[in-house]
A and B are shown apart, each in its own frame.
Chain A
């Protein structure tokens, strides 16, 4: 099972920046681009687990603060010569409010 869950307002995130959201499946990073697009991915670089939410955001990608891997926010895939990917989490905007599509099955089982 999964649901759309409100995780905050777009105004809580600086443009070209990110915020973290703690979820039962781990910490996710929610990004806002220069053009006010929002994306969410696992806050965990496929390379060495660096916190992607702390990276520099440019276009629709982020550069990991640990070793400069560049990750596409749209696909979660590493760009350039590096290979790897992280989970993307679907988001939608309801006015200023950001809704994330989060898995709830594992929760229900507990």
Chain B
């Protein structure tokens, strides 16, 4: 019989204990029965990434480290929302505020830290927040909806990230900092000044040497009073002035607590059965707040718990990086001045670059990089190795690529790094470990590397380096599919661009290119139409459609043909027509000598070979007969194909023709990521071929079966069933809501079946069929955008819009040329 397992109880479920358990399960998977108490009502997530959640660049789901499944898979009991209030060291039990008691053989305390609250009058007013966990972020997001004024007290790492996040959510933000320059603990004054300018350039006001005296307000926050008498109005005050190790529980239990919970190098507290790691622990007389040393503690405690009593924590310097998109900053080591020290400084004001190395005895002891930080890892490596730099001193500041080898090739720089050079600072992963894992485990993607080595899995700032290592190791076999950039003009993928357009409120193509740092001055034929679509879709009322960024067909509202002529397809609602419409088409064909007329697969008539100059006149004649553009050229609603339904057919169950016409009249003119074709069949015999359309409806006796995600082009695919609804009104509402969801989420040129595969059919069914509120929201947004979209482009052009498109600027005759 197996030996009785020991029981390990963990108090706290942050990043440090999460990592410790991963190591422990790897080293000794069966040694312990594990129980976790988490004061937060959720699973373990990446706290470092709260700032991107606040700014809207990431969703909470993206920063979860261990989902519920992980705990189940490892047989771990997780008490969510349980705060441990008592440790009984005699009985070896812990008890939570909900009254749950668990006994332990070994106890791991990882209670983290609490934000430091300035003891100011008014600190308890509603509207005064700290910045620590997801609840704080949610509270800030709620406050940001009112688009009001926010004050952030504290110009350190957290304060600036909070300020940038709130500003990108539309708040008017002021940062108050008590010292003369920002982030003075990590930066020298020159870099602090550059940072201040960059922060202000984002519309955030910075007041340094600001001594807060009082938070004022009656019943809620109304402002802040400074010591110099200035009053600043505010609807939200965020205190980000630092953290304090949370040792209360340990102290109450009689453990030795100094600034933090005192441990030896093996992370053991004064009680041999109790360990402590994370921000609450004090090891070697120091408390830590950055993730790298905390993960080191996690490694040590896991080894100790697995029986390796020699594992010991060793202090190391950790670089600081600021996670504010567009501000690059790196700082590590000792930046103080002194007689025994020298420095090398590089400034490029125009490029916003500042680099400073502090040297002592020909070795780098401190590094500050601002604006251009790619050599940070290399400088840090030289510090850690205590490399004598006198040989390369002349060119040292220019970075690694200037030392010997070919300059300015980032791949060469990465290739030149030694195997023990640290790539991922957060997790302490060196180059050799990454390349080794790529080769031995056959890794091919960034996600693989993250899963196997943890490199780039925390703050993500080394992602570029890891990708270069993948390229270096795999050569052409590496396909960075994790994020395929939109085009060569940017490194961002479509999804990131869409999210950032929304989060940053970007409302023009130049604004997108400026804010998201496009590499080209005005984009290319791939990104411009995509951006134009995203902006039309996101800001239907405010964005002015940029016709020069539309493909020619959408610019002149006809389909270009191989000889440069155009084809013209008027709308025939639901495929129905009349003798007078047909007569008008016949007359137009004769009058303009149109060479070909064809019936299309979407139940309408195509006139092919129209000269561009004739288009407005052709449209004028068609318009007189009541025709509007069929948008047969658009990434938008094309046709709604129907059968004759209950009007004529002996099998028809519902009025499929009528419903098709109703849908087409409701939805025409709408732009979508790719073309959108629909069909409505009056019975399951499906004469309108609705089950290979983007969206299809099959009428049945009991109502309307809604289908979607079919394809009958490059790919052939039958539709999936969305669900069954009873009435025609419901059918319309569901189809419209589905279309809007697709419009808001899909990538440009992505057909609905590809989008659905990516998002998941169940998720789409949940949002459209089950969640009535979501469905209503989608429907309302579609209806709103139609107010600006349902304008017939042909009649607009007949009345003179874009005249220049349809005639030559000049005709140089023989006579004129000969003059």
Residues of chain A having any CB pair with chain B under 8 Å? 3, 5-8, 12-17, 19-24, 27, 30, 34-35, 48-51, 54-59, 63, 65-66, 68, 70, 102, 104, 107-108, 110
Q: Among the listed B522, B529, B818, which residue makes an inter-chain contact with A104, where contact means beta carbons less than 8 Å apart?
A: B818
Q: Nearest-CB distance from B556 to chain A (Å)?
A: 8
| Contact A65 B548, beta carbon cutoff 8 Å | no
Report yes or no: A24 in contact with B562, Cβ–Cβ below 8 A.
no
Query: Nearest Cβ distance between residue B544 and chain A, in whole angstroms?
Result: 13
A56 to B531, CA, bound (A): 14
A7 touches B817 (CB 8 A): no
CB distance from B697 to the nearest CB of A (A): 35
Q: Which residue of A lies closest to B555 (CB)?
A: A54
* Interface-lining segment among B247-255, B634-642, B754-762, B806-814: B806-814
The listed residue (B521, B549, B556, B810) touching A56 by CB distance below 8 A is: B549
B780-819 interface bits toward A, Cβ cutoff 8 Å, 1 = contact, 0 = none: 0000000000000000000000001000111111101111
Tell whether, in the assembled complex, residue A66 and residue B814 are in contact, meaning their CB atoms are under 8 Å apart: no
Kindly state the interface size class of chain B when it binds its partner: 20 to 34
| Residues of the A chain whose Cβ atoms lie less than 8 Å from the Cβ of B551 | 56, 65
A20, B522: Cβ atoms closer than 8 Å: no
Also in contact, A21 and B811, with CB within 8 A (given A51-B564, A58-B523): yes
Contact A16 B812 (CB under 8 A): no
Residues of A within 8 A of B816 (CB): 5
- Contact between chains at B812 and A22 (CB < 8 Å): yes
Determine which of A22, A34, A110 lies in contact with B811 in the assembled complex, contact meaning CB atoms within 8 Å: A22
Alpha-carbon separation in the docked complex, A1 to B550 (Å): 40
CA distance A58 to B818 in the complex (A): 35
CA–CA, A102 and B552, complex, Å: 28
Question: Which of B525, B809, B811 is in CB contact (< 8 Å) with A68?
Answer: B525
- Shortest Cβ gap from A77 to chain B (Å): 17
Please tell me if the beta carbons of A3 and B564 are within 8 angstroms of each other in the complex: no
Of the candidates A14, A19, A21, A22, the one whose C-beta lies within 8 Å of that of B548 is A14
User: Which residues does chain A contribute within 8 Å of B560, judged by CB atoms?
Assistant: 51, 54, 65-66
For the complex with contacts A51-B564, A66-B562, 12 further pairs of A-B residues with Cβ separation under 8 Å are: A5-B812, A12-B809, A15-B548, A20-B809, A21-B810, A22-B808, A34-B522, A50-B564, A54-B560, A55-B525, A68-B525, A104-B818
Tell me whether B525 and A70 are in contact (CB under 8 A).
yes
Q: Can you list 15 A-B pairs with a CB-CB distance of less than 8 A?
A: A3-B819, A5-B812, A15-B548, A16-B522, A34-B521, A35-B521, A48-B562, A49-B563, A56-B525, A56-B529, A56-B549, A56-B551, A65-B552, A65-B560, A102-B817
Residues of A within 8 A of B524 (CB): 56, 58-59, 63, 70
Contact B522 A59 (CB under 8 A): yes
A13 and B809: CB pair below 8 A?
Answer: yes
Q: Which chain B residues (538-567) contact chain A, with CB distance < 8 Å?
A: 547-553, 555-556, 560, 562-564
In the assembly, what is the distance between CA of A55 and CA of B564, in Å?
A: 11
Whole-angstrom distance from the CB of B358 to the nearest CB of chain A? 43
Which residues of chain A come closer than 8 Å to B563, judged between CB atoms?
49
Q: Does B528 contact A (CB under 8 A)?
A: yes
Interface code B35-57, partner A: CB below 8 Å = 1, 0 otherwise? 00000000000000000000000
User: Could you say which of A12, A21, A27, A54 contacts B552, with CB atoms under 8 Å apart?
Assistant: A54
**A21 with B809: in contact, given A14-B804, A110-B814 (CB under 8 Å)?**
yes
Partner of A7, one of B548, B549, B553, B809: B809
Q: Is the CB of B812 within 8 A of A8?
A: no
How far is it, in angstroms, between the C-alpha of A51 and the C-alpha of B816 when the chains are bound? 25
Interface presence of B579 (CB below 8 A): no
Give the interface centre of A19, A58, A70 by most chain B CB atoms within 10 Å.
Answer: A58
Contact B548 A57 (CB under 8 A): yes
Contact of A16 among B548, B552, B808, B818 (CB under 8 A): B548
Instruction: Give every chain B residue within 8 A of A54 (Cβ-Cβ).
Output: 552, 555-556, 560, 564
Chain A to chain B: the 7 pairs with minimum beta-carbon distance, closest first: A63-B525, A19-B809, A16-B548, A56-B525, A54-B552, A22-B811, A8-B809
Chain B residue nearest to A3 (CB atoms) is B817
Q: How far is the CA of A33 from the CA of B810 in the complex (A)?
A: 19
Cβ-based interface call for B286 (8 A): no
